[in-house]
Homo-oligomer: A and B are copies of this chain.
Amino acid sequence: MLNWYLQSGKESDVVFSTRIRLARNIKNKPFPGNSEKKDNEIIVEKLEEITPKLGYGLNITRLSKLDNLTRLSLIEKHLISPEFALDKKQTGAIIINEEENICIMVNEEDHLRIQVLSSGLELEHSMALAREIDEKISSLINYAFSPKYGFLTACPTNVGTGMRGSIMVHLPALTLTGNTKKVLEAINNFGMNVRGVYGEGSKSQGDIYQISNKQSLGITEEEIIKNLKAIAEKITEQERLARNYLGKNRIELEDRVYRAYGTLANARLLSSEEAKDLLSSVKLGTDMGIIKELTDKKVNELMLYTKPANLQKYIGKDLDANQRDIKRAEVVKQIINK
């Protein structure tokens, strides 16, 4: 089974991926941020106990067993947060399966962050799967839950459903036509957060933006999904209109995407930042049927393995920045030509 981030999904010409995240905490236990290490240890031990009963091929691994490179590679795949990776109290763990489409962070900001990830636009399926897992866990441990507020969470913005739905969208044409800001501001006014790919405060890289619901209280999970789906459809429509517009100057667009492809395929030194920019243009080219030399899977591989930690994972050893730039260019050629 291909890992989720190498697959193509619905509307994946614009919607890169979907994530559903449920924040859950165990009843009568302090939140990880305000607790002693021994309190957190009780949580992780409890999860170690119940994980074998969950199914889905899930296994629990303590972060302390993972080297830095592996942690960084998980951040790059958007499976864990940078803060969580630091594992300050040495009680962090992840419950994850082979396909990596289910990843539960243990002792992040909340005791549990159940995440279901998918390529393309898959809000309903992802929510259904997240709920299934959530129900299994709740049959094995008691959640902190208030009949008035819903699920209790460390940060008040997550109280209620404890749910955050998010999509990552690729908006190269809106960027090229200078309309990204306008479109993203409208989304923001619609009760959605817009962020760079590594969460709050980070800037967009390779024209990829993360859109997620702001509200989790006083709204049902179905409403969150419905709103997010409406936004996804709107932004997909806008991006496709912008691509059609660019397509009217076909030769200029072809020139742009093929120059990016030519540089990517021929450079001998390639930084991760440049690779992101080039891949944004190349993905636009493949998604618009202009570049025929690459499959979607290859583009996904290129996007993953040009990231610093996943590059080193691919190569199988630690590399300094200069060695990475050399190896990145080699790996790009290997993937393109295989």
Chain A positions within 8 Å of B, measured between CB atoms, are 251-252, 254-255, 258-259, 261-269, 326, 329
Could you tell me the distance between the alpha carbons of A258 and B270 in the complex, rounded to whole angstroms?
12
Question: Is B263 a contact partner of A267 (Cβ separation < 8 A)?
Answer: no
Question: Is B252 a contact partner of A258 (Cβ separation < 8 A)?
Answer: no
Q: Can you list 18 contacts pairing A with B, beta carbon distance less than 8 Å?
A: A251-B326, A252-B269, A254-B268, A255-B268, A255-B269, A258-B266, A258-B267, A258-B268, A259-B267, A261-B266, A262-B262, A262-B263, A262-B264, A262-B265, A262-B266, A262-B267, A263-B263, A265-B266
Q: Please give, as numbers and ranges, the residues of chain B lying within 8 Å of A252 by CB-CB distance.
A: 268-269
Name the CB-closest residue of B to A290: B268
Question: Is A251 a contact partner of B268 (Cβ separation < 8 A)?
Answer: yes
Q: Tell me the minimal C-beta distance from A265 to chain B in angstroms.
A: 6
Q: Please give, as numbers and ranges, the residues of chain B lying within 8 Å of A266 by CB-CB distance.
A: 258-259, 261-262, 265
Q: Tell me the minimal C-beta distance from A323 to chain B in angstroms.
A: 10
Q: Please give, as numbers and ranges, the residues of chain B lying within 8 Å of A251 by CB-CB distance.
A: 268-269, 326
Could you tell me the distance between the alpha carbons of A139 and B326 in the complex, rounded to whole angstroms?
66
* 17 extra A-B contacts, CB within 8 A, seeds A255-B267, A255-B268: A251-B269, A251-B326, A252-B269, A255-B329, A258-B266, A258-B267, A258-B268, A259-B263, A259-B266, A259-B267, A261-B266, A262-B262, A262-B263, A262-B264, A262-B265, A263-B263, A265-B266
Q: Please give, as numbers and ranges, the residues of chain B lying within 8 Å of A261 by CB-CB distance.
A: 266
Q: Tell me the minimal C-beta distance from A273 to chain B in angstroms.
A: 16
Could you tell me the distance between the alpha carbons of A268 and B266 in the complex, rounded to whole angstroms?
16
Name the CB-closest residue of B to A293: B266
Q: Tell me the minimal C-beta distance from A330 to chain B in angstroms.
A: 11
Could you tell me the distance between the alpha carbons of A268 and B256 in the complex, rounded to whole angstroms?
8
- Indicate the member of A255, A262, A266 with the most B CB atoms within 10 Å: A266
A-B interface, 9 closest residue pairs, ranked by CB to CB distance from nearest: A262-B266, A262-B262, A255-B268, A258-B266, A254-B268, A255-B269, A262-B263, A259-B267, A251-B268
Could you tell me the distance between the alpha carbons of A258 and B267 in the complex, rounded to whole angstroms?
6
Q: Tell me the minimal C-beta distance from A161 to chain B in angstroms.
A: 48
Q: Tell me the minimal C-beta distance from A332 to chain B in angstroms.
A: 11
Q: Please give, as numbers and ranges, the residues of chain B lying within 8 Å of A258 by CB-CB distance.
A: 266-268
Q: Tell me the minimal C-beta distance from A305 to chain B in angstroms.
A: 19
Could you tell me the distance between the alpha carbons of A289 and B261 in the complex, rounded to whole angstroms?
24
Could you tell me the distance between the alpha carbons of A269 and B261 in the complex, rounded to whole angstroms?
14
Could you tell me the distance between the alpha carbons of A121 and B255 in the complex, rounded to whole angstroms?
38
Could you tell me the distance between the alpha carbons of A259 and B266 in the complex, rounded to whole angstroms?
6
Q: Please give, as numbers and ranges, the residues of chain B lying within 8 Å of A269 by CB-CB distance.
A: 251-252, 255
Name the CB-closest residue of B to A252: B269
Q: Tell me the minimal C-beta distance from A271 to chain B in angstroms.
A: 11
Q: Tell me the minimal C-beta distance from A326 to chain B in angstroms.
A: 6
